[in-house]
Structure formats: structure tokens, C-alpha cells
């Protein structure tokens, strides 16, 4: 069971931990392998990635299953395989090499760039499909039977798009087995309070049309599963703050003396249920994090994002009242229809928030994703996003607002892969082989365009 990012990130992925424990509980010797922190150092030393459990080199396993979270982790997948001495492309592997089973959150949007690497892919929720996939492999020596599983695809059999699998609700909730100080969320027992989302934001893969929307787990079931010895509990779910019993759930955890983390908070819930920020602060939560997603009220409305300025002001007031370190607001730049006027509205509004409490704006360029209503929208372009970032920086000078942007260049790469196919997958290998700089990615992806145009 391999994760194409370093250990700290992998240990914070509840999905990866959960799927690994399902395979282990079915009686297989499941061992975990992570991408080394310093890939370059491992390459120089010619060290293969080793399993956590028995220190076995990755290339010695007969079956390697990898969970890929998002597009840029494809580079980690290629690095992991190269370090292990496994040819990344399926066509370059021989029967003596491990078989590669891929899955993970990326399969909810566009798994096609995974195709040149995979022997088989499991789309969507793998709770019910991963064990039959592994079992079948040890019975037959191939992964061909995966084509018969819900969400199963064998790329060598052709470009077939299959619907994502939906796990039976009796499997819920996913939960972690171990908690460790090395996790991004340290000392935390991760527990899935709900799965999916009932909202309809037009840019989001997790919107309600995916796998039937929100599936709730009762507080009684959740309490049953929390280990007495766990110092902190991380509640996970795309829309966990919409859980109708979140307040009593938090209250009970606080009463039991547990620290609590939460994977996402909706600003309207924080505004309408002031007990949520109060209890989270009591449980040790230090940064109140919500999403506003678009620069202006007009854009939020157009994207069906239910957050209003009044909700965000209420969040800033709650952050001040309960002495949170900061209010963090996630935001996208370059969404369809955005203009400089929208950015000016963002500047004025952020100044208003910062006058209430210190605020950090986490900014990511908008990337259109498959399986969303905005699939046909365009990436705004590196220059446009950089220009808007500059405008924002200048407008917020001297305020208590801090901007934490992610790179528009890497968002361009992500957008290319999000809309790409097999050729873009192969371009990942060329980009990594050429050193993995942005220039290397640009050359590799431009070469795909040249071939398509020619």
C-alpha cells in the first residue's frame, strides 16, 4: 500500500489508512510505503523506498496499490516507482515486476493520466472493491478481474469511462488505526463523521450529485469507536460541519477531555451555530478555517456557494471572541467571469475582516475539474492570476491580512493534467525525468500539444 507523498502527508490521509486496514483485516500482509522526504538524496544513495513494517524494498512486492489524491501527486507516483526500480510505464514492465493497482480521490475527477502507469484502476470509493481486487490477484496472478468490479477499469483494455463506485453505507465510518506525532494532525484519531456533501458548488467534485450526497454517521456509532486512550479526535468529512448533531458531538468530546480537529468548516454553519467555534476552541482548535471560495458576492452566487459577507463577518467576530490565533479563509482567484472589480471587492472586504481579527487568506488559482458543471471553463492563465495576486497584495498593504498563495504556475500544470488524458500522463514521466522544474513540465506538456496539433 503505497502513498506518493511523504509519510507525514500519508499518515494524515484517512482514506489511505482506512483502505490499508481493510486489506490487512482481510488477512493479507499489507505493508505501507511512502515517498521519501528527500527524493534526491535517496536517488544519490540508490536507496529503494522501503516498507514501514518489514523494511522490504517496494519492488519486491508482487502487488503495489497506490492512492493518488490529486493531479500533482502523479509526479510522486513516478518518483516512487523510479526509486523502486519499477518502470513507471506499464508497457515497459515485464512479468517479473509488481502489478500496479491505482485508486484514490483523483479518480473522482479525471483518472485518465493514471492510465499509462496502471495495470488496473479502482474509481471512487474502494471500501468494497479493494479486497476483492487483492484477493483476485493472489488467486490468478493478474488484475484483469478488476474490470468486473464496480468502478474497475483495466487501461490496457481501452479507453472506457466507468462510473465511480459507491461503498455500502454499512462500511462507514472510516477510521484510523494509529495516531502518531508525525501526522500533519498530530496525536489524532481520525474518524469519518459523514461522507460526501449535499451542497452544489459548481466547481466541486464532491457536490451532491456524487455518490448520493451526504451520508451521515450517528454520534452513538462515532462515540463507540473513539478509543479511550486517543488524546485527540479528528472529525473528517467533506461537509462535516453540516452534520446535524455536530454540536452535541463536540460537547461530548470536550466533556471527555478530548482535543478535537475538524477537516472543514462552512462559514454559514459557524455563523448560525456559535457553539461550534466556542467548543472547537475549548477542544484546542487554534485557527478558525472557513472557505469563501470566490472574490465577490456576485461570483459566490454564480458558483452556488452559499457563503455571504455576513457569515464571514460572524466568523471573524467568533475568532475574536474566542481568542483564535487567526481566521483563515480559503479563496480561489481566476474563477470564470472574475474581473478586477471583484478583486477590489475582495480587498475592501478583507480589510473589513482584518479590522475585526487577524486574517490569513489561503489563495489557490481556480482549476476546472471533470465531473463538475464548470468542466468547460478555462484556467484563467498564469499572468492573469499573478496580476490579480499583485493587485490584492498592493490593496492589502498595511492591513492585518496575510496572503498565502499557491503557485499559479503549478496550478497551470494541475489544470493541464485535470483536463488531460493518456498523453498528459506520459508527459508526467518526461517532466520528472527532466528534473521536475516548471520549465521541464512546460516542455513536456507543450510537446503533447505539438503532437496533437500536428
- Residues near ligand SF4 (CB under 6 A) are 197, 199, 201, 204, 206-207, 238-239
Reduced to 3 states (helix: H, G, I; strand: E, B; else coil), residue 105 is helix
Nearest to 66 by CA among 142, 74, 128, 345: 74
Nearest 5°: CA angle at 145, between 140 and 150?
Answer: 150
Q: Which is nearer to ligand SF4, 200 or 225 (CB)?
A: 200
**Which of 65, 49, 63 shows the shortest CA–CA distance to 107?**
65
Considering the complex, what minimum distance in angstroms separates the CB of residue 200 from ligand SF4?
A: 6
Across the chain, which distance is largest between two alpha carbons, in Å?
Answer: 66
- CA distance linking residue 310 with residue 89, whole number of Å: 51
Q: Which is nearer to ligand SF4, 206 or 327 (CB)?
A: 206
Least distance from ligand SF4 to the Cβ atom of residue 293, Å = 7
| Torsion 68-70-74-79 (CA) sign | negative
For ligand SF4, the closer of residues 51 and 296 by Cβ is 296
Which of left, alpha, beta for 284 (phi over 0: left; psi -120 to 50: alpha)? left
In the complex, least distance from residue 201 CB atom to ligand SF4, rounded to whole angstroms: 3
From first CA to last CA, the distance across the chain in angstroms is 40
Measured torsion, CA atoms of residues 298, 300, 304, 306, in degrees rounded to the nearest 10: -110
Q: Residue 92 Cβ, how far from ligand SF4 at the closest point, in Å?
A: 38
Closer residue to ligand SF4, CB minimum distance, 20 or 109: 109
Q: Rounded to whole angstroms, how far apart are CA atoms 338 and 230? A: 45
Nearer to ligand SF4, 206 or 235 (CB): 206
CB closer to ligand SF4 out of 268 and 424: 268
CB of 364 to ligand SF4, least distance (A): 12
DSSP per residue over 183-198, as a string? SSSTTEEEEESEES-S
Say if CB 252 and CB 224 are below 8 A apart: no
Question: Apex CA 11: angle with CA 440 and CA 245, to 5°?
Answer: 120
Shortest distance (Å) from residue 415 CB to ligand SF4: 18
Q: Indicate the residue among 197 and 319 with the shorter CB distance to ligand SF4.
A: 197
Q: How far is the CB of 263 from ligand SF4 (least distance, A)?
A: 10
Output the CA–CA distances (angstroms, integers) from residue 199 to 243, 319, 335, in the order listed: 12, 25, 19
Least distance from ligand SF4 to the Cβ atom of residue 305, Å: 7
In 123-205, which ranges are E strands? 152-153, 188-192, 194-195
Instruction: Specify the residue, 293 or 317, whose C-beta has the smaller distance to ligand SF4.
Output: 293
Q: Say how far apart CA 233 and CA 222 lie, in whole Å.
A: 10
Give, for 405, the enclosing helix (H) or strand (E): strand 401-405
11 backbone dihedrals φ, ψ, rounded to 5°: -75, -15
How are strands ordered across the β-sheet holding 259-262?
188-192, 232-236, 259-262
How near is the Cβ of 31 to ligand SF4 at its closest, in Å? 32
Residues linked to residue 288 through DSSP beta bridges, in sequence order: 327
Least distance to ligand SF4, CB of residue 266, Å? 6
Q: CA 429 to CA 370: how far, in whole Å?
A: 22
Task: Select 199 or 322, whichever has its Cβ closest to ligand SF4.
Answer: 199
**Looking at beta carbons only, is 373 or 387 nearer to ligand SF4?**
373
- Shortest approach of ligand SF4 to residue 350 CB, angstroms? 20
Identify which of residues 129 and 241 has a Cβ nearer to ligand SF4 in the complex. 241
Amino acid at each position: 500500500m503505497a502513498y506518493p507523498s511523504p509519510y507525514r502527508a500519508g499518515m494524515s490521509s484517512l482514506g489511505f489508512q482506512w483502505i490499508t486496514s481493510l486489506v490487512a483485516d482481510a488477512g493479507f500482509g499489507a505493508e505501507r510505503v511512502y515517498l521519501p522526504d528527500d527524493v534526491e538524496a535517496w536517488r544519490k544513495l540508490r536507496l529503494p523506498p522501503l516498507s514501514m513494517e518489514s523494511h522490504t524494498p517496494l519492488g519486491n512486492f508482487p502487488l503495489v496499490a497506490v492512492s493518488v489524491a490529486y493531479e500533482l501527486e502523479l509526479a510522486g507516483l513516478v518518483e516512487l516507482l523510479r526509486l523502486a526500480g519499477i518502470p513507471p510505464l506499464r508497457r515497459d514492465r515485464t512479468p517479473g515486476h509488481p502489478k500496479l493497482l491505482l485508486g484514490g480521490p483523483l479518480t473522482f475527477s479525471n483518472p485518465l493520466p493514471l492510465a499509462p502507469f496502471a495495470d488496473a484502476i479502482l474509481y471512487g470509493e474502494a471500501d468494497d472493491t479493494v479486497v476483492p481486487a487483492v484477493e483476485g490477484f493472489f488467486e490468478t496472478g493478474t488484475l484483469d478481474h478488476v474490470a468486473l468490479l464496480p468502478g474497475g477499469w483495466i487501461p490496457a483494455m481501452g479507453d472506457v469511462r466507468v462510473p465511480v463506485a459507491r461503498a455500502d453505507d454499512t462500511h462507514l465510518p472510516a477510521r484510523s488505526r494509529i495516531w502518531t506525532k508525525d501526522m500533519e494532525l498530530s496525536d489524532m484519531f481520525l474518524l469519518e463523521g459523514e461522507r460526501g456533501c449535499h451542497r452544489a458548488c459548481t466547481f466541486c467534485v464532491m457536490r451532491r450529485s456524487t455518490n448520493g450526497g451526504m451520508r451521515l454517521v450517528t454520534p452513538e456509532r462515532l462515540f463507540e469507536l473513539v478509543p479511550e486512550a486517543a488524546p485527540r479526535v479528528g472529525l473528517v468529512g467533506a461537509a462535516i460541519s453540516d452534520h446535524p448533531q455536530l454540536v452535541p458531538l463536540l460537547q461530548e468530546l470536550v466533556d471527555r477531555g478530548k482535543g478535537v480537529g475538524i477537516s472543514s468548516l462552512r462559514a454559514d454553519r459557524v455563523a448560525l451555530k456559535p457553539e461550534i467555534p466556542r467548543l472547537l476552541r475549548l477542544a484546542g482548535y487554534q485557527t478558525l478555517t472557513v472557505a469563501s471560495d470566490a472574490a465577490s458576492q456576485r461570483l459566490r452566487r454564480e458558483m452556488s456557494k452559499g457563503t455571504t459577507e455576513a457569515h464571514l463577518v460572524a466568523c471573524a467576530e467568533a475568532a475574536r471572541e474566542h481568542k483564535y490565533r487567526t481566521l483563515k479563509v480559503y479563496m480561489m482567484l481566476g474563477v470564470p467571469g472574475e474581473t478586477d472589480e471583484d478583486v477590489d471587492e475582495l480587498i475592501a472586504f478583507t480589510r473589513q475582516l482584518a479590522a475585526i481579527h487577524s486574517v490569513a487568506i489561503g489563495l489557490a488559482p481556480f482549476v476546472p475539474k471533470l465531473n463538475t458543471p464548470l468542466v468547460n471553463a478555462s484556467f484563467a492563465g498564469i499572468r492573469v492570476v499573478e496580476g490579480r495576486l499583485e493587485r490584492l497584495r498592493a490593496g492589502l498593504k498595511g492591513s492585518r491580512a496575510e496572503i498565502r498563495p499557491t503557485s499559479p504556475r503549478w496550478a497551470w500544470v494541475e489544470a493541464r493534467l485535470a483536463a488531460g488524458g493518456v498523453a498528459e500522463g506520459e508527459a508526467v514521466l518526461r517532466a520528472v525525468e527532466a528534473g521536475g522544474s516548471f520549465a521541464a513540465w512546460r516542455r513536456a506538456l507543450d510537446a503533447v500539444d505539438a503532437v496533437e496539433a500536428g
